[in-house]
Amino acid sequence: MTPDLFADQPIEVTTERLSEGAIVLRHFASAQAPDLLSEIEHITTVAPLRHMKTPGGHSMSVAMSCCGCWGWITDAKGYRYQAEDPCSGAPWPIMPPVFASLARSAALAAGYGDFTPNACLINRYEPGAKMGLHQDKNEQDFSQPVVSVSLGLSQVFQFGGLTRSARPKNIPLAHGDVVVWGGPSRLRYHGVLTLKAGAHPLTGACRYNLTFRCAR
Ligand code: SIN
Ligand code: FE2
């Protein structure tokens, strides 16, 4: 039997600066990934992943759920945060401590010392799913950053400027990578390109993204 020389080695975190206030923390969530995925499993049995409709009536290709005090939703009435899951009328599942502590420590590593996320959006991308360039601007306080965790298949993240027309950087994000953007970059446009088919040992044919924000 060949011993796995690296089985007990901690995974090294490396960083890539994207812009003032924005950074990629490679592998930051790798160690917690199995726990994060089992929490996603619990949350989505209570608040199932669903394809929400944009205000324009289009069904989103990404399937979404939420946890925490506030959940981000979209429907004919617009984009907003709501304390209850519109599918059940019940409050969103609580944010698991492992989610909150990971988000806080990633924010700290990016230079944001006092992040208190109260909203977590859970995105599930299957092959063919994407998210066009947009700003995260439904939150009341832009002094708090956005923390975004990638799990499973790799997908190309686009990080643009403060206007839609600025040419975005394309950054492949792999399992365990975390992106944090805040300060002067808080309202930068971002999105993900179409997910290509693949297989990941922990998530199978999909990618999950957890996006943490302070909604109010
Ligand atoms: C988002 O902006 O809500 C998702 C970004 C991603 O999936 O990486
Ligand atoms: Fe976003």
Specify if 3 maps to a domain: no
Alpha-helix runs per DSSP H in the chain: 33-46, 97-109
Q: Are 100 and 197 within 8 A, CB to CB?
A: no
Q: How far is CA 86 from CA 9, 72, 92, 136, 155, in A?
A: 44, 11, 9, 21, 29
C-alpha–C-alpha distance, residues 116 and 216, integer Å? 10
How many CB atoms within 10 Å of residue 161? 16
Q: What is the CATH number of the domain that holds 58?
A: 2.60.120.590
Report residue 5 as tokens.
């020389």
Q: How high is the pLDDT of residue 94? A: 98
Specify if 31 maps to a domain: yes
Specify if 7 maps to a domain: no
Specify if 9 maps to a domain: no
Determine the distance separating the centroid of ligand 1 and the alpha carbon of 148, expressed in angstroms. Answer: 7
Q: How high is the pLDDT of residue 2? A: 52
Using a cut of 0.85, tell me whether the model's pTM lies above it.
yes
For 154, list phi and psi in degrees, rounded to 5: -75, 150
Burial of 205 (0-12, 13-18, 19+ CB in 10 A): middle
Place of tokens 């208190």: 116
Determine the distance separating the centroid of ligand 2 and the alpha carbon of 113, expressed in angstroms. Answer: 21
Q: Are 24 and 171 within 8 A, CB to CB?
A: yes
Q: Mutation test of ligand 1: which of 49, 175, 192 has the most ligand atoms closer than 8 Å to its C-beta?
A: 192
Q: Tens place of pLDDT for every residue, the chain, 216 residues?
A: 455 666 667 789 999 999 999 999 999 999 999 999 999 999 999 999 999 999 999 999 999 999 999 999 999 999 999 999 999 999 999 999 999 999 999 999 999 999 999 999 999 999 999 999 999 999 998 999 999 999 999 999 999 999 999 999 999 999 999 999 999 999 999 999 999 999 999 999 999 999 999 999
Specify if 168 maps to a domain: yes
How many CB atoms within 10 Å of residue 126? 15
Q: How high is the pLDDT of residue 9? A: 73
Q: How high is the pLDDT of residue 24? A: 98
C-alpha–C-alpha distance, residues 125 and 61, integer Å? 8
Taking the CA of residue 62 as reference, the ligand 1 atom at the shortest distance is 7
Specify if 6 maps to a domain: no
Range of the domain at 20: 14-213
Specify if 178 maps to a domain: yes
Q: How high is the pLDDT of residue 198? A: 98
- The closest of 176, 185, 191 to 144, measured between CA atoms, is 185
Report residue 45 as tokens.
């049995």
Specify if 160 maps to a domain: yes
Report residue 63 as tokens.
């399937």
Domain count, the chain: 1
